[in-house]
Structure 1
Amino acid sequence: MSAPSSLSQGLALLGSAVERERSGRPGHNASRLADATGIERSRVSRLTQELRALRFLERDEAAVFRAGDAYFRTAAALDAPWLRAARQELRTLASTLRMTALVSAADGPAALLLRSETGVGAVDASLRYGMATPIWCTGAGRALLWDHSPQRLAEVLQDVQFVGVGGPAAARTAGEVHALLERDRAAGVITAADEYAEGITDLALPIRDSSGVVASLTVSGAPLSAGRRRAAVSALREARDRLSTLASGQ
């Protein structure tokens, strides 16, 4: 039997903290989380630090853990009708285009994966729900920045360390990110080629509700021929329009 992954252990810790909080009883500290989940205390310490950094857990002055704001934002988003409908849209995109299709939401300078489907023959990027990727050098992320002004973009990216992140075509400054956004807005679709991983191209569009961009819809895979790219963009736009209509309550 293989050892538990960091993901499964992190989810176990989060689930235990949330269950304890919902019970109305005093919350768990790191030691009690270790006892409740059977995970080594040193590992609990490291994983809870990561969950706190992602804002899925919070720790109070008594060192007791409870669910963080990112947990509640994700839970609310996952219950939205448009996101439930996105599952079928993603399956259709993935199977017809033979690419990976995903829906992501913004979380500061990161794009948080909410849903994904992988088509036959598509590149498997080992995606997992809750996975965070850079918002500036992925198609999924940059679509979330579609409406951002240069000032707002600079605010989101002010603490980002560009060096050492992404593929050979990744932006290295907020100004370069803005230039890519201007190019993609003019084209009507986000294109991120060799930006997060070499040999991978993302095509993405923002999903909107009545207040603005709520998420992004992306197809990702190996470089496409001109004909396949046109088909992918057309299918992406149609799916985005249907999801935006649902998100807006129209």
Structure 2
Amino acid sequence: MASSSLVQGLSLLDATIEQERRARPGLNASRLAEHTGIERSRASRLTQELRARQFLRRDDDARFSAGPEFFRTAAALNVAWLRSSRVALRALASQLGVNALITVADGTRGVLLRFERSADGSDRSIRDGLVTPIWCTGAGRALLWDHSPEQLDALLADVQFIGVGGPTAGRSTEDVRAMLARDRADGLISAAEEYDEGIDEFALPIRREGAVIASLAVRGRHRPKGATRAARELLTQFAHELTAAADTL
């Protein structure tokens, strides 16, 4: 899947914030392009857009730092359930030996909001802001838990299914609808080798006042027998706890 402006913009923003976290001087547009692997002219255009939206600011030496809108957004996201998610993610990663993910919806895509890697750190594709298809990942499909057939038809009407995902990925809206029906009946989203061959994802929605606001997922090596009992119990426990935290707002 081609990199989107959202992913590239998040990469530039993340690289800028990482410099500040390490108490290092900011990077100019050229250095940001080198650091993120984004073509220079595109990096220049994206940094201009991020400045216009006040996510970045530039000093007299043309070096970038976080702008006021970044901090406003961060403050809005720093709510109880999201703070609590760090504990849940670490527990899932350490106890199950998997990657643990918090994902939110962006149209037909899921955007990785927070994550914790397994101890072996083998999956280096996991990163903040990672964008994946919403229909063929466990984390993404949990975000569709409440969608009616009509809502799925409208959301996925223009999706290009062919060529996206792993060997068991859905190839039509009807496939996605059937997978959702199966998973709802089982009480757990199970995406076995749907996005990456040899990788499974299991997930549940996080809710606020009944509405799905995010998903909690674990991602690890394929298991022919599906999710373990421990994975089911821990996902259920933490999805309930995060939902309860969200409902206290």
Q: TM-score, normalised by structure 2?
A: 0.75
Partner of 2:200: 201
Choose which of 13, 16, 39 in structure 2 pairs with 1:11. 13
**Equivalent in the alignment of 1:43:** 39
Change (3 A) 1:241 1:115: same
Deviation of 1:101 (Å) = 0.5
- Find the aligned partners of 1:160 and 1:104 in 2 and give their Cα distance: 20
Q: Is residue 113 of structure 1 aligned with residue 109 of structure 2? A: no
Q: CA 1:12–1:145 in structure 2 vs 1: closer, same or farther (change >3 Å)?
A: closer
Residue 221 of structure 2 corresponds to 222
CA distance in 2: counterparts of 1:135 and 1:183, whole angstroms: 17
Equivalent residues of 2:29, 2:43 under 8 A apart: no
Whether the 8 Å contact between 1:103 and 1:116 is mirrored in structure 2 is: yes
1:25-64, aligned counterparts within 5 Å? 36-39=28-31, 43-47=39-43, 57=49
CA contact (8 A) 2:109 2:131 kept: yes
Partner of 2:52: 65
Separation in structure 2 between the aligned mates of residue 103 and residue 8 of structure 1, nearest angstrom: 16
Counterpart of 1:26 in structure 2 is none
The answer to whether the Cα contact below 8 Å between 1:99 and 1:123 also exists between their aligned partners in 2 is no
In structure 1, C-alpha distance between the alignment counterparts of 2:89 and 2:15, rounded to whole Å: 29
In structure 2, what is the Cα distance between the partners aligned to 1:167 and 1:73? 38
Separation in 2 of the partners of 1:76 and 1:155? 33
**Deviation at residue 109 of structure 1 after TM alignment:** 0.4
8 Å Cα contact 1:12-1:37 kept in structure 2: no
154 and 14 in structure 1: CA distance in 2 versus 1, 3 angstrom threshold: farther
Between the aligned partners of 1:49 and 1:170, the Cα distance in structure 2 is 35
Whether 1:213 aligns to 2:212 is yes
- Are 2:97 and 1:98 equivalent residues in the alignment? yes
8 Å Cα contact 1:77/1:83 also seen in 2: no
The Cα shift of 1:163 comes to 1.3
Structure 1 letter corresponding to 2:228: R
Distance 1:212 1:37 in 2: 40
CA distance in 2, matches of 1:168, 1:190: 17
C-alpha contact (below 8 Å) 1:123/1:222 kept by paired residues: no
Instruction: Show the 5 A alignment for 1:149-168.
Output: 149-168=148-167
| Partner Cα separation in structure 1 for residue 168 and residue 90 of structure 2 | 29
Structure 1: runs of 5 or more not aligned: 1-5, 16-34, 59-63
Check 1:87–1:230 CA distance in 2 against 1; reply closer, same or farther (3 A cut).
same
SS of the aligned residue for 2:194 comes to: coil
Per-residue Cα deviation, 1:5-42 (whole angstroms, up to 9, x for no partner): x6886227987xxxxxxxxxxxxxxxxxxx953446x9
The count of residues paired between Structure 1 and Structure 2 equals 216
SS in 1 for 2:39: helix
Q: What's the offset of the Cα at 1:184?
A: 0.3
Partner deviation per Cα, 1:135-181 (whole Å, 9 max, x = no partner): 00000000000000011111211221111111011111111111100
1:235 corresponds to: 234
TM-score, structure 1 as length reference: 0.75
Cα gap change, 1:200 to 1:83, in 2 (>3 Å): same
Aligned residue identity for 1:65: A
Per the alignment, residue 83 of structure 1 pairs with 82
Q: Which amino acid aligns with 2:93?
A: A
Structure 2 CA distance, aligned partners of 1:225 and 1:177?
20
User: What code does the residue aligned with 1:235 have?
Assistant: L
